Structures are given as structure tokens and as C-alpha cells.
A and B are shown apart, each in its own frame.
Chain A
Amino acid sequence: MSDPQPDPPTPVRRVARPKGAARQAVHRRLLLLNLSAALLGLALWAFFSYLKLAGLPGPLAVLERAGQLISNGSLLNDTLASVRRVLIGFALGTLLAIPVGFLMGWYTVARGLMEPYVQFFRTIPPLAMIPLAIVFLGIGEVPKVFVITLAAFLVSVISTYQGVVNVDKVLINAARVLGASDAQVFRRVVIPASSPFILVGMRTGLGAAWSTLVAAELIAAQEGLGHRMQQAQVYYDLETIFVALITIGLTGLVMDRILLRLEARLTAWQERR
């Protein structure tokens, strides 16, 4: 329905953003602060470990353990196992979420049918599904990937749906008056217009997948960073736990940055305010 009496346009006030050299200076200062914070954290860690607080291993001990785990190949092995699970789960979840989100956003019937399930399962942390998944799917790769898929799906489906619902009606009308059919409107307007939402959903979905992974691996796994920590816990091997934790953090960060780059590239057309 089009508005019978549109409001007068609100002038868009663009906030002046620092440009060129000024922006670079701000950027450099931020980077410097980031670095200082990291160094300060490291120093605190070294200090507390020097005090022998709760057997906390120092940065050097952890680094040494990291060296061992790298040279015997187990760190790479575990990381690859974990990343593979996350990527499979994330890919499945996202591939499923995008069509479902589009259906929910585009067809009222689909929304009515699927929304109760999506909303219900959203309130259950995917990890709470692990016992059920193990009962039904055993203790192999399947239940882990299933839980990760679910985590990624639930996040992505909501944002895809939001993206479709938020497509500017004026753009749809503009396409229709140029002769676009419903299918063309969908393909050429709804999909690109909702892509920023989808990409944000993917990033959050990847985060959800990653955080679910480690817990899933704590249950029953033969390899993976979560499994490695579980093993280390048994032997009170704090160094290995630290190496695994840092690897989890860094790997997650790298994957997030990759998606962030992708997002920036694919949505460069957006008018940012």
C-alpha cells in the first residue's frame, strides 16, 4: 500500500567525518592504543604468573608449549579439525537460513508457519541441544556439526528475514513501474537490498558457530581445540589450555575479519551515516 500523503522529506544531515590525513591520524592513534592495551595485558599476565597465583603459567611457558604443539603437528591438526567443523556447520546453517529467511520475509504464509519454530528454538541455547543430539545422532561428527549448524542458522535466519522486511518499499515500486515482475523484483531488488542484513547475520552466525564449537568438542571428540583442552584439564596441563584458548581467540578473530572485509566490499554502496 502506498502512503496517501507522504510526509515532507527529512533532510539527511551527514555528519562530517575526518578525511584523508586526519582520518589516518585517528586510525594510527587507535592502533597505538590497541597495541598498548595488548602489551599491558601481557605484562599483567606475566606479573601474576610471577606471583605464582593458582599455578598460572607465564607467557614464556605458554609460548614454549605452543612451540612444542606446533612442531609435533597437533596444534595444526586440532585447529584444522575445529575450523572444518565450524565451516561446515556455518555453511550449512547459512545456506539454510538465507532461503528460509527470504521465504519468511516475502510470504506471509511462510512467516506464519515458521516464525513460532524459529522464535521458540531461538530461546534454547544450541548447546542445550547437545544431549538430545548425542542420543539421536551418536557421538561422531554429526551431532557436533548439527549443533553448530543450528547456532549459525538461528542467528542468520532472523537477520535475513529482517533484511527482507526492511527493504524500502519505494525501491520495490521503482522496479515495478519499470516493468519488473514479482520474480524480478525479488532477484534484482529484494536480494541486493537485504544483503547488508544477511552479511551482518553471517558474521554473528559465525561467532555463534565458533562459540558453540568448542563446547560441542568438550563432549566427545578425538581431535579439535576443545578436545585438546579437555585432555589438558585431566593432566592439569594449564599451558596447553592457554595455547588452545589463544588459538581459539585468534582463529575466531581472523575469520571475523575475513567476513568483515567481505561485508565492507559487498556493501560499499551503502550510504553510511
Chain B
Amino acid sequence: MSSLPSPDKIVFDAVTCSFELAGQPFLAIDQVSLGIADGEFVTLVGPSGCGKSTLMNLAAGLLEPSAGEVRLDGRAIAGPSPERGVIFQQYALFPWLTVSQNIEFGLTIKHTPKRERDAIVRKCLDLVGLGQFAHALPKTLSGGMKQRCAIARAYAVNPQILLMDEPFGALDALTRVKMQDQLLDTWTQDKRTVMFITHDVEEAVYLANRVVVMAAGPGRIQQIIPVDLPYPRTEAIRLSEAFLQIKNAVWRAVYHQTTPLA
């Protein structure tokens, strides 16, 4: 595995986050520290309630930590910003806009000139292979196409880091594998930092430089498992003994946790 460039792009520094949940204080994550290097692909996996989505919302700026700090390039994150692209599991496409208008959304927000906008939209459509569906409404697209559109929309504003919250969770197994390969294709070309949340152990290992296994009650990091497998990841790698071993290690870390609160 190639050596990863440092210093860290995004840093969670002793981050704690608690909510009111049904009138009760709920500790979503407790003292989590994690650094993700520039250009690194990190997946987070863990049981529900382990706070992986909370971590992502903190990085997105949609949530504020109760204690600690999340930093991007050394600057504390305060609120959402297009420098951190987010892909939601529910696609979150604007249903009243066509595919290309969805992709264009962040650019019009920034008041990018029309000609430049068109060029970027064209490029992003091609990137995700939706060129033919530029003028289609989201309701006419399949789940995989919707998510490709959402990915293109995130890429259009050229974020420094992609935050993906179980983006392929609602897709069927075949589409999922295809989407993983396409995502890795793009990632190997532009080496954009990715923080990817999933509940699928195989997906976590297949995509990542490192798999962060989280534990619940309160949410915390259980173990970080490096994936020393070369890119491009191929079917041969997916079926290899080395892959299986890492997958088993992650599986054990996820499913055989000693939980302090039963």
C-alpha cells in the first residue's frame, strides 16, 4: 500500500455529542478522536446507534459537537459548506428539478456564470453516465441512477472531501457493486478524501484504506483496521484470501463487541 500523505485533512478531536432524545439526554458519541489523511478513503462501520451518522453530520456541519472540535485543514468546522460534499442515503434529490438542474443547484447558489455551469454539469453528467437523462425528473430514475445524480451534484461544486452516509444502502446487491466500482474509479483518479459510512462489512473493506469500526452505547471507536490491499480493487481482490481475512477481522470487531450497556 502506498504511503498516505499527511497531515490529516479532517480531524475529530475528542468530539462528544449529546442530544435530547424523548426528553432524555442521549450521548450519541463520546470522546471520539479520528484523523483522516488527505486523499484517504475511510469507511465507518458499526451497529446502529454507534453514532456513525452523528460523526458524519458533525463533519458536514449539520450538527455541532457538545465538546471537542472537528477541523478541516486545521480550521474548526462551523456550519455546512460546499467544500464538504454530502451524499445522503435517501438521495435527497430535489424532485421538482431535472437531473441536470439538480447537478447545477450548488453552482447557481454560488452564482457561477451560466457557460461555466453548463460545462461543469456536462462533465458531471458524463462522469456518472447520466448524459442521456439530463432532462429527466428524479421520479423517473431508478435508485442507482438517483444516487449517481446525487453524487454528480456533490462533485459539481468540487468539494475537498466527500461525506457519504450509507449511500448505497437502499440499492440492490448488483447495483451496489457497480456503484462501488464506479466510486473507486473516480476516487483513484482524483484522490479526493472520502468518509464513507456503511453497515455492510464487505463494502467497508472493499472500498477503504482503513475501516473504522465503531461501537454503540455510547458511540465510540472500537478498532481501526487498515486494509492493505492494492487499488484498483477488482473482483479478484474481492474474492481473494487476504480480502476474506480482513473482512473476517472487521466482522468480528463489529459483531463481537463487548458492550458496556447490554
Interface residue ranges, A against B (CB under 8 Å): 1-6, 8-9, 11, 168, 170-171, 173-180, 184, 188-189, 192-193, 195, 268-271
Q: Does B72 contact A (CB under 8 A)?
A: no
* B49 at interface by CB-CB < 8 Å: yes
Task: List the interface of chain B (C-beta within 8 A of A).
Answer: 19, 21, 26, 28, 48-49, 51, 53-54, 57, 60-63, 80-82, 84-86, 88-90, 92-97, 105-106, 109-110, 137-139, 153-154, 157, 169-170
Question: Can you identify 7 A-B contacts, CB atoms within 8 angstroms?
Answer: A4-B53, A9-B89, A171-B92, A173-B62, A178-B106, A178-B157, A269-B137
Measured CB to CB, the nearest residue on chain B to A4 is B28
Residues of A close to B154: CB separation below 8 A: 178
CB distance from A171 to the nearest CB of B (A): 6
Contacts of B48 in A (CB 8 A): 5
Q: Are A271 and B92 in contact (CB under 8 A)?
A: no
Establish whether residues B92 and A174, one from each chain, have CB atoms under 8 Å apart when the complex forms. yes
Report how far A203 CA is from B29 CA in the complex, Å: 48
- Whether A179 pairs with B89 at a CB distance below 8 angstroms is no
Expressed in whole angstroms, the Cα–Cα distance for A188 and B101 within the complex equals: 12
Write out the residue numbers on chain B whose beta carbons fall within 8 Å of the beta carbon of A195.
96
Contact (Cβ within 8 A) B169 A9: yes
CA distance A5 to B153 in the complex (A): 25
Query: Are A4 and B170 interface neighbours, CB within 8 A?
Result: no
**Which of B63, B86, B170 is within 8 Å of A174, CB to CB?**
B86
| Closest 3 pairs between A and B when the two form their complex, measured CB to CB | A178-B106, A174-B92, A179-B82
Report the separation of the CA atoms of residues A19 and B143 in the bound assembly, to the nearest whole angstrom. 22
Residues in A whose Cβ lies below 8 Å from that of B28: 4
List chain A residues, Cβ under 8 A from B93.
174
Question: A9 near B90 (CB under 8 angstroms)?
Answer: yes
B26 near A175 with CB under 8 A, answer no
Cα separation A11 to B28 with both chains bound (whole Å)? 27
B139 pairs with A179, CB closer than 8 A: no
Q: How far is the CA of A8 from the CA of B143 in the complex (A)?
A: 15
Q: In the complex, A171 Cα to B81 Cα: how many Å?
A: 15
How far does the alpha carbon of A195 sit from the alpha carbon of B95 in the complex, in Å?
Answer: 12
> What separation, in Å, do the CA atoms of A175 and B106 have in the docked complex?
8
B63 to chain A: which residues have CB within 8 Å?
Answer: 1-2
Verify B53–A5 contact, CB threshold 8 A. yes
Task: Judge whether B96 and A8 touch: CB under 8 Å.
Answer: no
- Point out the residue from A2, A9, A189 that lies within 8 Å of B62, measured CB to CB: A2
Question: Once the chains bind, are B94 and A171 in contact (CB under 8 Å)?
Answer: yes
Name the one of B49, B96, B110 contacting A5, with C-beta atoms under 8 angstroms: B49
Q: Looking at the assembled complex, report how far the CB atom of B217 sits from the nearest CB atom of chain A, in whole angstroms.
A: 11
Q: Which residues of B contact A192 (CB under 8 A)?
A: 94, 96
Min CB distance A29 to B, Å, is: 27
Do A177 and B61 touch (CB < 8 A)?
Answer: yes
- Residues of A within 8 Å of B95, CB to CB, are 269-271
Contacts A4-B21, A268-B137 supplied; 17 other A-B pairs, CB < 8 Å: A9-B89, A11-B170, A170-B92, A171-B92, A173-B62, A173-B80, A174-B86, A174-B88, A174-B93, A176-B80, A178-B82, A179-B82, A179-B157, A184-B109, A188-B105, A193-B94, A269-B139
Name the CB-closest residue of B to A191: B96
B96 near A177 with CB under 8 A, answer no
A160 to B84, CA, bound (A): 33
- Chain A's closest residue to B106 (CB) is A178
CB neighbours (8 Å) of B139 from chain A are 269-271
- State whether B88 touches A170 (Cβ < 8 A): yes
Asked whether A178 and B90 contact (CB < 8 A) given A4-B28, A173-B62, A271-B95, the answer is: no
Q: Is the CB of A176 within 8 A of B49?
A: no
Whether the pair A3, B62 counts as a contact (CB closer than 8 A) is: no
A270 to chain B, nearest CB (A): 7
A178 and B94 contact, Cβ closer than 8 Å, known pairs A1-B19, A4-B54, A170-B88: no
Residue with the greatest number of chain B CB neighbours at <10 A, chosen from A2, A3, A5, A270? A5
A18 → chain B closest CB, angstroms: 18
Query: Quick check: A178 and B105 within 8 Å, CB to CB?
Result: yes
Residues on the B chain within 8 Å of A3, using CB? 53
Set of chain A residues within 8 Å of B81, measured between Cβ atoms: 177, 179
The residues of A that contact B84 with a CB separation of less than 8 Å are 177
CB A172 to nearest CB in B, in angstroms, measures 9
User: What is the CA–CA distance of A193 and B154 in the complex, to the nearest angstrom?
Assistant: 20
Complex CA gap A25/B195 in Å reads 52
Closest A residue to B153 by CB, please name it.
Answer: A178
**Given A4-B28, A6-B53, A269-B95: A179 in contact with B90 (beta carbons within 8 A):** no
**CA distance in complex: A23, B190 (Å):** 49
Could you tell me the distance between the alpha carbons of A195 and B60 in the complex, rounded to whole angstroms?
28
A19 to chain B, nearest CB (A): 14
Is the Cβ of A175 less than 8 Å from the Cβ of B105?
yes
Measured CB to CB, the closest approach of chain B to A264, in angstroms, equals: 14
Q: Which residues of B contact A271 (CB under 8 A)?
A: 95, 138-139
Given contacts A4-B19, A270-B139, A271-B95, contact A170 B57 (CB under 8 A): no
